[in-house]
Amino acid sequence: MTEPDDAAASSAQRNRDQPGASAFAWGVWALSLVIALAYVGRYGADVPRYDDYAVVPQLCGKAPVTLGWLWSQHSEHRIPLARLVLLGVFGGTGADPRPVMGLIVGLLAAAAAALLVAAGRAPGGRTYADAFLPLTMLGLGHHPNLLWAIQITYVAPVALLCAMTALLVGRGQRPSIGRAAGVGACLALLPLCNAGGLLLIPAPTFWLLATAWSEWKRGDRRRAAGIAACAAPAGLLAVFYLVGYASPSHHAAPGGLVAGLRTTFQFLATGFGPAGIVLWPWSGVAAGLATLGATAVLLASWFREAGRSRIGGLIAALASAGLLALATGWGRSGEGAEAGLQPRYATLAAPALGIAYLAFAYGGGRLLRTLAPMVLFATSCVLIWPNAEDALQVGRRDAEQAAAFDRERASGVPIFRLVRRHVPFLYPSQPPFHDLLTTLGEAGVGEFKRLAPDPAFRERPVELRPGDVRLARWEDGAIVATGPDPWVRFDLPEPVRVAGVRIRYDHRNDDGSPARFKLAWRGAGGYNAPETQYGDWNLPTGDDLVTTVWIDEPVAWIRLQPDNRPCRFRIRELTLLIEP
């Protein structure tokens, strides 16, 4: 039941609302939700993509569903929640990812709603500018994550952070046990999402413990103990998350302080959507001013106000978003000058802007409380069309390619040809995608039961006598690379239509990392004919391994790049697979 002072405060706050502002803000939220659902319904592919296939062995009964597997690392992440969602949905829909896309939209809608609720409690009341929150959290700027089921790993922690923010700025200067329990529940779910979720835990945990200490000093020790206990599950899970954790080797080492700061501001710029990438570096300046200005406003408000629970909660929420930005910036700073400008980061970066909006609404003076939110709202309005235009372009392209896959799958196109035509759209590399499609077909999962198996290929060995060697030595069947991007060319006696090339090999390099492999070929027409390439930047290293590159074209010669750095690559067999 609402306490009398809270009810009076709520009534007074409603009297400060701009006329019609609540209906306008929630109307924008509802319209944004309808547009996002319509976008997913129109352009969402009915076939998994990339990391969506990570649950296929368990889905098809080739591997068991165990706690060890659920908790195991996926790159640098532990994603048990996403794995359970994908398994449950794929098992009921025949590996159709579109229901998960709908769930992603629902989570973003919940995140936007939570921030809208929080904005309605601001001292200045509800304003028209509050529509910035659904435009930022639910707009089509999130389209890279709307059309990809596995990205629920990105969206779930964002929804939890926004829910926590609404709880952290709840009514009353003394948080109830219920509010604290809500914050604790959100915190406990974060380690089940991904590594980014882990970064969102420390600041709200500190808020819970500081609140518990304040209650302890008031003499209410039972209340203090209850609030402090709410932080325990997340803390235990965070410690457990780090047990046996191994940093992935495929990420570049951090690039240093300057590169880290640049990548951090790039990350924040993506909060404006794809338009933020186009407008870099100005978008980075704007995002930086918003978040740093919000931090200054909150700190100033903390020192001048007696009641600090809400401001402390906003500081904790903004600190969580800031820690995620800094960690991403540092971790990706070694991967190039534009490493932070990844479209998929839009969803992770958007809460920083949303919480900054709340910071100005709660902590700003009379002028700043009005001006800063209106500037953010106006900016989001200007970016609606460029973000929507990018979303429509990408959506049409993806829908066309997914429809082509569906047509070919239904018409009996063999698996090898599907792989050749739809890598890298559906999966980054050919050999594992071929295995995954074969597994889905053999298990009779959904529409994959229509997959036609490969024919029995004729095999023709290629004589291991190079026609040319560059930046390498040829030593008794082995390519000894001496420089970057070495290659060896093998000429065929005459052009022949080839389904694929099977390579049995040994590979070694200095650090034992996967080979950055590339195969190029050219058909009839001499050296002026167009060249086709296929690259696999994660070709396994080791002894007596096999990889197959599907070509489905006439071939006159084959050029093999074993790695893009010094290495030793021994070719045991090089075999042409020819369709009968």
83-103 tens-digit pLDDT:
999 999 999 999 999 999 999
CATH number at residue 527: 2.60.120.260
**Max Cα-Cα span within the chain:** 91
Residues 367 and 487 in one domain: no
pLDDT at 218: 86
Please say whether the beta carbons of 499 and 457 come within 8 A: yes
Residues of the chain with pLDDT > 90, as a percent, come to: 80
Residues 320 and 234 in one domain: yes
Say which residue the tokens 């501001």 belong to.
265
pLDDT at 509: 87
Q: Measure the CA–CA gap between 388 and 385, rounded to whole angstroms.
A: 5
Domain closes at, from 344, 374, 389: 389
Residues 202 and 304 in one domain: yes
pLDDT tier at 251, thresholds 50, 70, 90: confident
Tell me whether strands 468-470 and 478-481 are parallel, antiparallel or unpaired. Answer: unpaired
Residues 477 and 383 in one domain: no
Residues 259 and 344 in one domain: yes
pLDDT at 4: 40
Q: Please, what's the b/e burial string for 316-337 (b: 16 or more CB within 10 A of its CB; e: otherwise)?
A: bbbbbbbbbbbbbbbbbbbbee
Give the range among 163-167, 305-309, 393-397 with minimum mean pLDDT: 305-309
pLDDT tier at 478, thresholds 50, 70, 90: very high
Residue 362 within a domain: yes
- Crossing angle of helices 232-242 and 177-189, in 10° steps, is 10
Supply the DSSP symbol for 281: T
Domain closes at, from 360, 389, 418: 389
Structural domain for 27, as ranges: 20-49+97-242+255-389
Residue 76 within a domain: no
Say which residue the tokens 């060890």 belong to.
68
Residues 123 and 229 in one domain: yes
Helices and strands per DSSP (H, E), number in the chain: 23, 11
Domain closes at, from 330, 360, 389: 389
pLDDT at 525: 66
pTM for this predicted structure: 0.92
Residue 174 within a domain: yes
Residue 28 within a domain: yes
Residues 349 and 482 in one domain: no
Tell me the average pLDDT across 501-513: 90
Residue 8 within a domain: no
pLDDT at 358: 96
Q: Which of 79-83's residues contact partners 24+ apart within 8 Å by CB, and which partners?
A: 79/153, 79/192, 79/193, 79/194, 80/192, 81/152, 81/153, 81/156, 81/189, 81/192, 81/193, 82/150, 82/152, 82/153, 82/156, 82/193, 82/194, 83/54, 83/55, 83/58
Residues 522 and 379 in one domain: no
Residues 333 and 477 in one domain: no
CB atoms within 10 A of CB 5: 11
Residues 236 and 320 in one domain: yes
The answer, yes or no, to whether residue 548 has pLDDT greater than 60, is yes
Residue 250 within a domain: no
> What is the per-residue pLDDT across 176-209, written as a single tens digit (0 to 9) for each?
888 999 999 999 999 999 999 999 999 999 999 9
Residues 373 and 503 in one domain: no
On the question of a cis peptide bond just before residue 281, with omega within 30 degrees of 0, the verdict is yes
Q: Which has the closest alpha carbon to 78: 196, 181, 205? A: 196
Query: How long a stretch of residues is the chain?
Result: 580
Residue 450 within a domain: no
Residue 232 within a domain: yes
Q: Kindly provide the residue ranges of all beta strands, DSSP E only, lying in 19-119, ordered along the sequence.
A: 73-74, 77-78
pLDDT at 454: 95
pLDDT tier at 2, thresholds 50, 70, 90: very low
Mean pLDDT of the chain: 92
> What's the number of domains the chain is made of?
2
Please say whether the beta carbons of 427 and 49 come within 8 A: yes
Please say whether the beta carbons of 204 and 187 come within 8 A: yes
